[in-house]
Amino acid sequence: MELVRPSTGDTWNNIAYFRIYVSLPWSDDYSQVFVLYQDGNMRLLNPTPHGLDWTPFGTSVIFGQTDVDDFRPAVSITKVEIEPEELTMKIIYSDGSSTDANLVPYVFSLKPTCMSSTKVKIWSESFCVRSTKIMEKIVPASPK
């Protein structure tokens, strides 16, 4: 899979997958929210709550049209054009088809609020996060 950033012309070749991270408002850390593998497996993860550095749970889907006769559902992604500031992607498949995707991560902030000396209430506030750190680690595809 080839990964391209059209606004800068940066290109990475022979990529097995890439990850997108968002900044967390309650710390100086980033949280992984998206992974796309060259076989079309897309993993969406919730941003990590305050006090945790990673959560193993998320949603995995095949992002594209699969062949129903294949043993394992998969698609062949040849190229992804990504603009990390807008979190937009154009995904191009080996059959020449393509799709546009826009990632919209939401961060839920859990804040304790003292109700009395013995009770603590947890409430959530959601807002859209647009600050990202892309491609912290680009993993090359294994040779075929």
Q: What pLDDT score does 96 carry?
A: 93
Q: Using the 8-state DSSP alphabet, how is residue 30 labeled?
A: E
Question: So where are the chain's domains?
Answer: 2-140
Tokens representing residue 79 in the block: 């190229």
The Cα 7–Cα 79 span in angstroms is 15
Say if pTM beats, i.e. exceeds, 0.75. Answer: no
- Tell me: the pLDDT tens digits for 119-138? 222 232 232 333 333 333 34
